[in-house]
């Protein structure tokens, strides 16, 4: 395969079908996956997630912990491939502890954000191969700003601040739509 620079052509050559549609009247099985969310409130941030680990449309395990403490001031909620996500949490937890013990101070909030982003960027090959995609939410207290903050990431490591809330996982479009509607038209956030 030569270097042509056409990504869509490369996908077609690898067997991916682009632009196909389902004929009208075809019964399509709805896939129900998982969702994590974080919401700001007056005293901080609430982070929650369902307990299901899924493989496609099948629930593999229904008691999964998806909101994991990284240190006393930050948590990460995981969506995506559980093995990769749990390993990222372990690496972050140990990195934060190592920094605290060697530098005798906490890693800055900005440093924690960079650490999450770097792990995701280091995982790009697995994410693009479909074997290790993770789209986490990171929430914590920023001592320099004096407030709790929420950040969510795409599978390539790009970070976005959730001003009022953040959602991730396969149920996120529905939840994001509901929260946007409530925040926009309900009269109170």
Taking CA atoms, 53 is separated from 3, 8, 63, 161, 169, in Å, by 38, 31, 8, 26, 11
Exactly one of 20, 26, 31, 34 is catalytic; name it. 34
Active site residue 184: no
Pairing of strands 137-142, 147-153: antiparallel
As given in the structure block, the two tokens for residue 124 are 């790009």
d(CA 189, CA 183): 5
Strand partners, 53: 61
CA 29 to chain centre: 25
Full 3-state SS string of 30-99: CCCCCEEEEEEECCEEEEEECCCEEECCEEEECCCCCEEEEECCEEEECCECHHHHHHHHHHHHHHHHHH
Strand, helix or coil for residue 168: strand
CA 115 remoteness from chain centre: 14
Which candidate, 119, 85, 68, places its Cα nearest to that of 111? 119
Q: Which residues have a catalytic role annotated?
A: 34
């Amino acid at each position: 395969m030569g270097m042509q620079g056409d990504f869509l052509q490369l996908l077609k050559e690898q067997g991916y079908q682009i632009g196909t549609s389902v004929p009208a009247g075809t019964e399509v099985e709805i896939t129900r996956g998982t969702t994590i969310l974080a919401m700001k409130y007056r005293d901080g941030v609430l982070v929650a997630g369902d307990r299901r680990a899924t493989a496609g449309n099948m629930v593999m395990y229904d008691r999964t912990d998806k909101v994991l403490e990284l240190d006393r001031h930050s948590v990460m909620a995981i969506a995506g491939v559980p093995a990769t996500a749990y390993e990222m949490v372990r690496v972050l937890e140990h990195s934060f502890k190592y920094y605290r013990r060697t530098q005798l101070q906490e890693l800055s909030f900005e440093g924690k954000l960079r650490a999450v982003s770097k792990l995701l960027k280091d995982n790009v090959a697995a994410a693009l191969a479909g074997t290790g995609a993770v789209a986490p939410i990171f929430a914590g207290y920023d001592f320099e700003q004096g407030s709790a903050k929420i950040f969510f990431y795409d599978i390539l490591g790009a970070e976005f601040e959730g001003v009022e809330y953040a959602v991730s996982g396969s149920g996120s479009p529905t939840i994001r739509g509901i929260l946007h509607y409530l925040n926009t038209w309900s009269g109170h956030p």
